[in-house]
Amino acid sequence: MSDNIPSYFQSSPDAEGYYGRFGGNHYPPELRSALLELASSYQELHKSPEFHHALNKVRVGLQGRPTPIHYLENISKQVGGAQMFIKREDLNHTGAHKINHCVGFALLAKQMGKTKLIAETGAGQHGVALATAAAYFGLECEIHMGEVDIAKQSSNVGSMQLLGARVVPVATGQSALKDASDSAFNAYIEQHKHALYAIGSAIGPHPFPMIVRDFQGVVGREAREQFLSITDGTLPEHVVACVAGGSNAMGIYTGFIDDPDVILHAVEPLGKSDELGQHAATLSYGRPGTLHGARSIVLQQDDGTPAGVSSIASGLAYPGVGPEIAMLHEAGRLSVAAISDEEVINTFLRMAKFEGIIPALESAHALAFAIRLASQRPSSERILVNLSGRGDKDIGYVLENYRLGDQPDLS
Ligand SMILES: *Cc1c(COP(=O)(O)O)cnc(C)c1O
């Protein structure tokens, strides 16, 4: 980054919360004052060294940051192409990157004089991370979760309850992430005087995508510095992240977006097939639309309503992307790929057997793509993958549905 070239972040988003033609605030007028209050409180606190000092204390002690970068030596050797490295967000307390912005929102809520945090959750990772932050900061917590996900993720539900959160079951629509999001946002509209909505990803109306990106940016800032020191001052050629709303992706991209030579890869879930309803590959198959209060790219049916989605990873089953991801895609800054459920399972098993790491099914999408990319690139190139979370939550599901004999034997 040269000192006289302005950083990408100086102009993104614009004053109205737009990233190019995406973003903005398309929520009911009764929420306007709450969103303005949030934006102005955040602008103030974001500049305050005390706020960052307090946040950093929690990042180190409660979360366990910084998380390391690790070389995937065994799989890199098996593949015989580019070298793969992982940023170990799976080592965060509660097991995923989501806590990076949950502790930020909890601290914001505290400073704004709010007494409660509200959010939705898909796989339960965001709910557990937020309930953890709420417990630490002494805030009430209300988590909206689809009934299908509640059935699939019972241990996360138990954790949230132990941490003192109220889990609200959602039975509308597909009873999954999008429906939980709608339900949580409605609860926020009703309770915004004393509650703050701690959204699960870099989505929603302005200023949510910006706040989530900024809090997740710790991943990329650390990763850039760590990579430079591991490799004697060179950057990776490729940075890879899975994308639902784009919080872990924007987090790691933050460290490299001002470096045009670093290719940023966005990996989407291709689910069971490329037929609408069978996947959640929004950038690959969606078109411009409005979802959860922002203009973005949305997977839609012919009549414009959001399409049903499917992915083996609950945390990726979302029919949209955050507005900044939509803009970066349209601007040609992202390289997009989609990975099927089957490839995800193979990678999940392969990571466990050959690297001793059980990745979240969400993160296994990014790893599966990295393996594919590595096989096509020379050994002089380096691929940095954001390993967004650990797979403990997925072990039961995988063991029930797949035979371990299906495991690739590449030793
Ligand atoms: C929620 C989740 C994701 C997807 O969300 P993004 O906002 O797109 O990052 C990815 N990985 C894990 C482990 C998750 O829990």
Measured from the CA of 389, which atom of ligand 1 is nearest? 13
Q: What's the pLDDT at 411?
A: 46
Specify whether 379 is catalytic: no
In the chain, CATH 3.40.50.1100 covers 18-60+98-208, 66-95+217-401
Q: What is the pLDDT averaged over residues 103-108?
A: 98
Q: How is residue 130 written in tokens?
A: 């937020």
Q: Alpha-carbon distance 409 to 354, whole Å?
A: 10
Q: What's the pLDDT at 335?
A: 98
pLDDT digits (tens, 9 = 90+) for 340-352: 999 999 999 999 9
Whose alpha carbon is nearest atom 1 of ligand 1?
315
Vertex 106 angle, CA 164 and 315, to 5°: 75
Measured from the CA of 251, which atom of ligand 1 is nearest? 9
Give every strand in the sheet of 140-146, ordered side by side.
Answer: 166-170, 140-146, 116-121, 195-197
pLDDT digits (tens, 9 = 90+) for 371-390: 999 999 999 999 999 999 99
Specify whether 324 is catalytic: no
Closest CA to 124 of 96, 104, 162, 103: 96
Whose alpha carbon is nearest atom 7 of ligand 1?
247
Kindly report the pTM of this predicted structure.
Answer: 0.95
The DSSP-derived string for 37-69 is HHHHHHHHHHT-HHHHHHHHHHIIIII-PSPPE
List ligand 1's pocket residues with C-beta within 6 A.
96, 98, 123, 125-126, 201, 242-249, 315-316, 360, 362-363, 388-389
The dotted CATH code for 66-95+217-401 is: 3.40.50.1100
Q: In b/e form, how buried is each residue of 221-239, taking b as 16+ CB within 10 angstroms?
A: ebbbebbeebeeeebbbbb
Instruction: Work out the burial of residue 262: count CB atoms within 10 Å of its CB; fewer than 13 is exposed, 13-18 middle, 19 or more buried.
Output: middle
Question: pLDDT band at 119, cuts 50/70/90?
Answer: very high
Q: How is residue 403 written in tokens?
A: 């035979």
The CATH topology of domain 18-60+98-208 is Rossmann fold (3.40.50)
Instruction: Work out the burial of residue 164: count CB atoms within 10 Å of its CB; fewer than 13 is exposed, 13-18 middle, 19 or more buried.
Output: middle
From 41, 76, 89, 98, the catalytic residue:
98
| Cβ atoms 84, 240 nearer than 8 A | no
Q: Alpha-carbon distance 375 to 137, whole Å?
A: 46
Residue 410, pLDDT above cutoff 70: no
Whose alpha carbon is nearest atom 5 of ligand 1?
244
Rounded to the nearest whole angstrom, what is the distance from the C-alpha of residue 98 to the centroid of ligand 1? 7
